[in-house]
């Protein structure tokens, strides 16, 4: 038997534990069906632990995740009792930065016509991927407050773009598009952010010359948001900066059914990578068996694909599509089922029992 791949599960806060539980049950079912050598190990990291022990990401835990695990599956981070989001900064952003997970991949794909709020748009119009640069931009945490809490307060967050950082995500976008419909749209605000996004513009033009078989276009991010609503069919791969990608990916999610279905992957190809849905901890519905587990389940499927379990991953995605088609859904998708029931149904579909 091949080597066991250890997967770290960090359920996290709010709805995180509920959706992580549902997803791991489905992944276990598909792993059993395909005889996959995986071992899920659960980690107690998040707001509860931070409030209890003052600990966010202990160094030995970080090193174990980095050195011993094939992948990390994370539910969500965010708790109203931690208003400065310190634990999320250390755990979620910390893992993205410290593991150098420069690709944040967020697919926008319509599973069923009833799920889009857009008029006259079908699955053929809504099938693209947002690639969000994941290690730079306004997310690097450089800045501070001067004369805090005085009328003269000054607040600064620095926006960072490096040639290396931009080039590697842009190159990834062109490579990905070659497995799809060979179109890449780079979106920025280079009309305003002349230095940082000017660099994006120049690097994009340069890398595009190496991919003459791929159609390369540029849209300012405001227009990109508009076009995502008006003519989503023009998009195949969208590549953009960290902050703009954060915003555009929530918009993208809403075009195809909402955050309850939106999967996401934080990757550095060839290295231990982190898989978490686009959504957050949704504190108002936490613990009520109302959260849609499908985003987390699809995120798990993406993780399996990353680990090379492509057939198993496809099986999970098919099962989610089937559950959506049969309307075995949570209230956000118009259904009347709970988190557990939806997870169990997807698991049965995966195992061939439903």
Which residues of the shown chain bind ligand NAD in the complex (CB under 6 A)? Answer: 15, 19, 76-78, 85, 92, 259-260, 276, 279-285, 291-292, 295, 332
Rule CB under 5 A: say whether 246 interacts with Mn ion.
yes
Partner in contact with 116, chosen from ligand NAD, ligand IPM, Mn ion, none, beta carbon below 5 to 8 Å by kind: none
125: exposed, middle or buried (C-beta count within 10 Å: 0-12, 13-18, 19+)? middle
Among residues 79 and 188, whose Cβ is nearest to ligand IPM? 79
Among residues 72 and 312, whose Cβ is nearest to ligand IPM? 72
What separation in angstroms does the CA of 119 have from each of 105, 113, 114, 133?
26, 10, 10, 31
Minimum distance from residue 330 beta carbon to ligand NAD (Å): 6
Among residues 186 and 285, whose Cβ is nearest to ligand NAD? 285
Instruction: Please pick, from the candidates 23, 88, 95, 115, the single residue that binds ligand IPM as defined by CB under 6 A.
Output: 88
Minimum distance from residue 202 beta carbon to ligand IPM (Å): 26
Minimum distance from residue 149 beta carbon to ligand NAD (Å): 23
Rule CB under 6 A: say whether 173 interacts with ligand IPM.
no
Using DSSP's 3-state secondary structure scheme, residue 161 falls into coil
Minimum distance from residue 195 beta carbon to ligand NAD (Å): 28
User: Torsion angle of alpha carbons 24, 106, 139, 18, nearest 10°?
Assistant: -30
What separation in angstroms does the CA of 154 have from each of 148, 159, 193, 195, 338?
7, 16, 20, 22, 47
Rule CB under 6 A: say whether 10 interacts with ligand IPM.
no
Candidates 18-26, 88-96, 187-195, 346-354 — which segment interacts with ligand IPM by CB under 6 A?
88-96
Partner in contact with 166, chosen from ligand IPM, ligand NAD, Mn ion, none, beta carbon below 5 to 8 Å by kind: none
Rule CB under 6 A: say whether 246 interacts with ligand IPM.
yes
Residue with the CB atom nearest ligand IPM in the bound state: 246
Token duo for residue 267:
């990757």
Task: Specify which residues 183 forms β-bridges with.
Answer: 215
Interface residues for ligand IPM in 40-79 (CB under 6 A)?
A: 77-78
Quote the CA–CA distance of 304 and 48 in Å, as a whole number: 28
Terminal CA-CA length for the chain: 30
Minimum distance from residue 251 beta carbon to ligand NAD (Å): 13
Helices (H), the chain: 16-34, 47-53, 59-68, 86-88, 94-98, 163-178, 196-208, 221-230, 242-255, 294-306, 310-325, 339-351
DSSP secondary structure, 249-309, as one string: HHHHHHHTT-GGG---EEE-TTS-EEE--SS---GGGTTTT-S--HHHHHHHHHHHHHTT-
Rule CB under 6 A: say whether 262 interacts with ligand IPM.
no
Among residues 236 and 332, whose Cβ is nearest to ligand NAD? 332
Q: Among residues 102, 66, 137, which one has the least CA distance to residue 265? A: 102
Minimum distance from residue 40 beta carbon to ligand NAD (Å): 19
Active site residues per annotation = 139, 189, 222, 246, 250
Token duo for residue 189:
């605000």
Instruction: Please pick, from the candidates 131, 238, 278, 301, the single residue that binds ligand IPM as defined by CB under 6 A.
Output: 278
Token duo for residue 145:
């407050």
Enumerate binding residues for Mn ion (CB under 5 A): 246
Enumerate binding residues for ligand IPM (CB under 6 A): 77-78, 88, 92-93, 246, 278, 280
């Amino acid at each position: 038997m091949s080597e066991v791949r250890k997967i770290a599960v960090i359920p996290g806060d709010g709805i995180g534990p509920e959706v992580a539980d549902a997803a791991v049950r489905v992944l276990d079912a598909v792993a059993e069906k395909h005889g996959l050598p995986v071992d899920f190990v659960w980690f107690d990291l998040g707001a509860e632990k931070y409030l209890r022990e003052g600990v966010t990401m202990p160094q030995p835990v970080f090193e174990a995740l980095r050195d011993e695990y094939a992948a990390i599956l994370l539910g969500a981070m965010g708790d109203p009792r931690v208003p400065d989001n310190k634990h999320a900064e250390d755990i979620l952003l910390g893992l993205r930065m410290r593991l150098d997970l420069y690709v944040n991949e967020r697919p926008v794909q319509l599973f069923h016509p009833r799920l889009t709020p857009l008029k006259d748009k079908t699955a053929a119009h809504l099938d693209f991927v947002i690639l969000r640069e994941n290690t730079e931009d306004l997310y690097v945490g450089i800045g501070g407050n001067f004369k805090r809490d005085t009328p003269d307060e000054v607040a600064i967050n620095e926006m960072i773009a490096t040639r290396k950082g931009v080039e590697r995500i842009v190159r990834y976008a062109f490579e990905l598009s070659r497995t799809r419909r060979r179109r890449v749209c780079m979106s920025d605000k280079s009309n305003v952010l002349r230095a940082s996004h000017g660099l994006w513009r120049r690097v994009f033009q340069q890398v595009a010359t190496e991919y003459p078989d791929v159609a390369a276009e540029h849209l300012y991010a405001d227009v990109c948001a508009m076009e995502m609503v008006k003519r989503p069919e023009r998009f195949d791969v969208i590549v953009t900066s960290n902050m703009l990608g954060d915003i555009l990916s929530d918009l993208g999610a809403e075009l195809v059914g909402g955050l309850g279905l939106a999967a996401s992957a934080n990757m550095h190809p060839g290295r231990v990578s982190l898989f978490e849905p686009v959504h957050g901890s949704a504190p108002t519905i936490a613990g009520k068996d109302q959260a849609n587990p499908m985003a987390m389940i699809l995120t798990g499927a993406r993780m399996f694909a990353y680990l090379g379990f492509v057939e198993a991953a496809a099986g999970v995605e098919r099962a989610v599509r089937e559950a959506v088609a049969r309307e075995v859904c949570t209230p956000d998708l118009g259904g009347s089922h709970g988190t557990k029931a939806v997870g169990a149904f997807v698991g049965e579909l995966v195992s061939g029992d439903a």
